[in-house]
Structure 1
């Protein structure tokens, strides 16, 4: 890259105001949120802010008893923070690529670690897969997002969407590389010792997610092992 003058660098890296939306990508790895009321964001994701914005962690009553029980069983959880007031907040998550999706009544499932921010009109509910006991370290809990509004999800590098239908048959994915899938799919956890050297790491037994039906699944070119949260 050519050497830039200070003025060239400041001009090239300054914040954009190209969109009237509440969520705007400043670059593929940095999200600007225009807070005017309430927005939910991943705890610890703020890198800068302007204006009068108050931050509070998601409360016990707001999470719901079902979500709390699932967090207790899994030993992990999607820790959200509430951003309230009026101002601008800049979010990022370990340099991961950010994708903005507008939901118009649809439902999607997202890996809990890959939810960066959601507008107030989006309902979030933690879901857990069957056969959860001790099979995976980071890919067991996911979040069902539904309603009307914009959600920001993250992935390591450029994600790939694979169609799931009767013609192509089921799709099998590495849980640690699975980012999201359509709301009509219910993945199963399956194990295949013979594929232990191809899928997954750290175990001779391959644990995979099996997607069958009609929909889609998003994967990333990276196996992200999520450490258990410490309360």
Structure 2
């Protein structure tokens, strides 16, 4: 019998790390450990395990104010938040997507609402509506603008790629493959008539995000199709 396939070897290779180096820690590339001593906000349904005394609660309808409640209702936004409060180790994941931890230092970033896994309660956030495309893409698009100082965790299908835009040298992306962009960028939207003709008027590729300014854009090698777009 080969020792490399033994249960002991499997446990040794996959067991939890006890580094506890910070608030957020990558237990694996697709699993986030939160060393909790207080509060953290995370994507609803992302908890896969925990140790310690932790209480979970969905965000209240008006917990973040009437303005954000109305935006969530308007967008039909499906990425509700979950509040975890207590002391212990919390493990989060989202459909096996790769997790990236970012430390904001009085900085800002905008993240696709479906790709935000967790964030420090010290971070300020707001929902940004993409009104111009709400009629083009079924279900529309919503994004979350995060700013301040603290940790956030975002997800992507497979390895993300960061592109850089310059004023006068824009970057164009597929909305369903766009994960995040630097806070100073304001995306526009363009419709490619030739692609519409070639691929059919319902094709997502006919609508592109345009980033014209100084900043970065994070994309993934995957087009994320939301349930509202499939119906």
Please give the TM-score of this superposition, normalised by the length of structure 2: 0.91
1:65 equivalent in structure 2: 66
Question: Are 1:55 and 1:81, in contact at CA under 8 Å, matched by a contact in 2?
Answer: yes
Equivalent position of 2:161 in the other structure? 160
Residue range with higher mean Cα deviation, 122-131 or 50-59: 122-131
Q: Which runs of 5+ in 1 are unaligned?
A: none
Q: Given the superposition, is the C-alpha separation of residues 7 and 205 from structure 1 closer, same or farther in structure 2, using an over 3 Å criterion?
A: closer
Q: Deviations over 1:75-108 (max 9, x none)?
A: 2243000000111111110000000000011010
Separation of aligned partners in 1, 2:115 and 2:65: 21
Question: Could you tell me which residue of structure 2 aligns to residue 84 of structure 1?
Answer: 85
1:188-210 Cα offsets, whole Å, 9 max, x none, are 12111212488999428701111
Compared CA separation, residues 195 and 98, structure 1 to 2 (3 A): same
Aligned length: 227
Unaligned 5+ residue runs, structure 2?
A: none
- 1:97 to 1:204, Cα distance in 2 relative to 1, 3 A: closer
Residues 1:41 and 2:39 aligned together: no
How far 1:130 moved relative to its partner?
3.6
In 2, the alpha carbon distance for the partners of 1:198 and 1:107 equals: 38
- By how many angstroms is 1:187 displaced? 0.3
Worse overlay, 63-72 or 186-195: 63-72
Specify the alignment match of 1:6 in structure 2. 7
2:187 maps to 1:187: yes
- After TM superposition, the runs of 4+ consecutive aligned structure 1 residues lying more than 4 A away are 197-202
Q: Residue 178 and residue 200 in structure 1: after superposition, are their counterparts in 2 closer, same or farther (change >3 A)?
A: farther
Structure 1 residues 115-194: aligned runs within 5 Å: 115-137=116-138, 140-166=141-167, 169-194=169-194
1:139 deviates by 5.7
Provide the rounded CA distance (Å) in 2 between the counterparts of 1:125 and 1:100. Answer: 19
Other structure's SS at 1:62 match: coil
Q: CA deviation at 1:156?
A: 0.2
Matched residue of 1:60: which SS? Answer: coil
Contact 2:33–2:89 (Cα < 8 Å) also in 1: yes
Cα distance 1:28–1:65, how it changes in 2: closer, same or farther (>3 A)? Answer: same
The verdict on how the C-alpha distance between 1:146 and 1:51 changes in structure 2, with shifts beyond 3 A counting, is: same
The structure with more helix, counted as a fraction of residues: 2
Task: Tell me, in whole angstroms, the C-alpha distance in 1 between the residues paired with 2:47 and 2:25.
Answer: 15
The separation in 1 between residues aligned to 2:200 and 2:116, in whole angstroms, is 22
**1:147 to partner: Cα distance:** 1.1
| Cα distance in 2 between the residues matched to 1:80 and 1:185 | 25
